[in-house]
Structure 1
Amino acid sequence: MKQNLVGEKFLWFKERIESADEVTPAKVLELMERYLGRFDEELEQIQLKHTVGQRKSRQHASREDVIRMTKKREMNEFNTCGLEMPNLLNPKQLSMLMEWEGELRFLQNFKIVRYSRSHLENLIKKSSNGEKTMDEESQNEADEKEEKTGKGHKLMYIP
């Protein structure tokens, strides 16, 4: 079940990345905000159905509740510890995502990171000042280690 949800999330990001050349922290932040708002249109439709006919019962109550709880949980994660997602700032991981055809058995090959709003905003600020970010330095070290040993990190926490 969890693997299906992760696969759906990865596909959502893959389908919305225009170019596999490079993704900036600003682009990741924009994608995350769009991801968090992916249910907004459906919620509007449910609200519209509630207003039409002035129904007393909530016809789509369970779906609406699931969407609201999911949205609240994901928003809370993004604003605190971060949401798990593929490492879009790593060129190797980005190209692997773009070549991925949605097969769940290959999910284990991705390096999953947690991006929080504050972390992405700090990366944007640093990159606009021309500073090398800690992510770039630590990622270069991790790539070198992986090339030497063939072993990579599966989950990176990025505060």
Structure 2
Amino acid sequence: MAENAEILQITTKDFFDKYFDVLMSIAGRTNTELLPENISSFEMLDNRYLLKIRRADTLVYCTGKAFSDCQNKTKKPYKTILVDCYLNDMTNLEVAKKVGYSRSRFGTLKQDALAEFTQRFNYWIQNQKFSPLVRAKKAICESR
């Protein structure tokens, strides 16, 4: 890639709302493969696959690794929030009840979870030498 190539910067909200499902489809992956308990078994696609498919697969893998690396403490249940919202397709209300927080407090926690995800996703993108093609950035207002 040319040194002056632009980095695609997308908000984490847009990533999940517009691109995540498309990338999963292109890579031929299922949500189950990205669950934290399964990510260590994830096998990257080899060179027999088209570059577009391998790139989608790499982004999907980085997403799974970022989910897996997020904190999951009582006061910071970020992994649970992200996995349930984006892999298990639960609503915000369902996840808020599951983690035991009010709707307003859950909104703040989800913002914090997305911020942590963004940092970890960008780390894994760089780790996979996929940079500078794409970089996630946190939006001021995230919701789903």
Q: What TM-score comes out, normalization by structure 2 length?
A: 0.31
Larger Rg: 1
Q: Which has the higher helix share?
A: 1
Q: What TM-score comes out, normalization by structure 1 length?
A: 0.29
